[in-house]
Amino acid sequence: MNIHSIKSILMLGLLGYAHILLASEPIEPLPTEIDYDPVKAKIGKALFFDPILSHDRSIACISCHDLDAGGADSRPVSLGVHGGKGNIQSPTVFNARYNFKQFWNGRAVTLQEQAYGPIHNPTELAMNTQEVEERINASKKYQALFAPIVHEGAIDILMITDALTEFEKALVTSNSKFDRYLRGEVLLDDSEEKGYQSFKALGCITCHNGINVGGNSFQQMGTIIPYNYVEGYPDRYSLTKKEYHKNVFKVPTLRNIALSAPYFHDASAKNLRDAIKVMSYHNLGYIISDEQVESLNAFLNTLTGEKPEILE
């Protein structure tokens, strides 16, 4: 038996053993096949890129959710119609179907409810239902796109937001290196493995777990060491008016996190290493070493997935 055969056998053994050990891991891999309506998703994709949904026809959904930048916005806040500024950093639309609530403060329960929000927000797209329906029904392009699903009557706002929802449901970034690791297909390198073990040992996993590595709970920014509170941010307090909900936000997904700088609701961390240090200090109570920062950074980079099929 030659050295290459021995290496192959050892690798298969290690991967098989890893598969057994990882069966109870707190993070789940994204599915490689997803369920969505391709006809509706095609319409939603057209709408997502089209400024027809903004009052002055100057911006579209893509303006605030750059699909080449992790599905988020590289600016601290997004700009709406007439240059209006948002009041919080735009979260990613990738893998949003796996969030338990939508928006930082969870004010939308479903993706369709979320899609309705920016269209009607006066600082974002600044449209009303009548304007949206009139524009879409007057468009030959959308008459043709909606034809397979609208056999009689006019295109209405529910059909429009439903199409946007189907497109967002298709934005799943499967097959990251970490997903393949969880499936027992590859091994992490030393730095990535150390980073993942630190991620669990330090307590990051407490909030960033499950299929979306987050997106499934609300937590306070500054759980251990208080974090700067700014009056007016759309946190949980803005909805409940309960003091203990100040600076409480939906835990963001960490999938594709290496692509979606700047970080946090206030965009205060400009790069991933800074974000790691800030979270370790304020939410875990640790000042971590440079070596830990580097290994955590290496691990987080393994969460970058593949481009969704609908974008190819």
Q: For residues 104 and 234, is the Cβ–Cβ distance under 8 A?
A: yes
pTM of the model: 0.90
CA 232/CA 230 separation, integer angstroms: 6
Encoded tokens for 65: 């959710």
Give the rounded percent of residues in the chain with a pLDDT score beyond 90. 91
DSSP label at residue 254: -
Residue 23 is predicted with a pLDDT of 55
pLDDT tens figures, 213-253: 999 999 999 999 999 999 989 999 999 999 999 999 999 99
CA 83/CA 31 separation, integer angstroms: 39
pLDDT tens figures, 60-112: 999 999 999 999 999 999 999 999 999 999 999 999 999 999 999 999 999 99
Q: For residues 233 and 107, is the Cβ–Cβ distance under 8 A?
A: no
Q: For residues 70 and 92, is the Cβ–Cβ distance under 8 A?
A: yes
* 72 bridge partner residues: 66
* 108 bridge partner residues: 102
CA angle at residue 61 from 58 to 67, to 5 degrees?
A: 120
CB burial of residue 20 (10 Å; 0-12, 13-18, 19+): exposed
Residue 9 has pLDDT above 60, yes or no: no
CA 56/CA 14 separation, integer angstroms: 58
What CA–CA distances, in Å, run from 5 to 2, 11, 12, 75, 227?
5, 10, 11, 51, 55
DSSP label at residue 278: H
Residue 44 is predicted with a pLDDT of 98
CA 168/CA 44 separation, integer angstroms: 8
Encoded tokens for 18: 């890893």
pLDDT tens figures, 250-288: 999 999 999 999 999 999 999 999 999 999 999 999 999
User: Which residues have a catalytic role annotated?
Assistant: 124
Q: Taking phi first (over 0 means left), then psi (-120 to 50 degrees means alpha), and beta for anything else, what does residue 240 get?
A: alpha
Residue 308 has pLDDT above 80, yes or no: yes
DSSP label at residue 114: H
Give helix then strand counts, H and E, for the chain. 12, 2
Encoded tokens for 196: 């993942």
Helix axes 190-202, 290-301, angle to 10 degrees: 100
pLDDT tens figures, 137-187: 999 999 999 999 998 999 999 999 999 999 999 999 999 999 999 999 999
Residue 7 is predicted with a pLDDT of 43
Residue 165 is predicted with a pLDDT of 98
Residue 24 is predicted with a pLDDT of 76
pLDDT tens figures, 16-45: 444 444 557 999 999 999 999 999 999 999
Contacts of 150 (CB under 8 A, 6+ apart): 159
Peptide bond into 31 cis (omega under 30): no
Query: Considering the chain, what is the average pLDDT of its residues?
Result: 93
CA 185/CA 283 separation, integer angstroms: 33
Structure-token match 């338990």, residue found: 100
Residue 14 has pLDDT above 70, yes or no: no
Q: For residues 194 and 295, is the Cβ–Cβ distance under 8 A?
A: yes
Domains, the chain, ordered by start: 26-30+174-310 (1.10.760.10), 38-169 (1.10.760.10)
Find, among 229, 230, 249, the residue nearest to 239 by Cα: 249
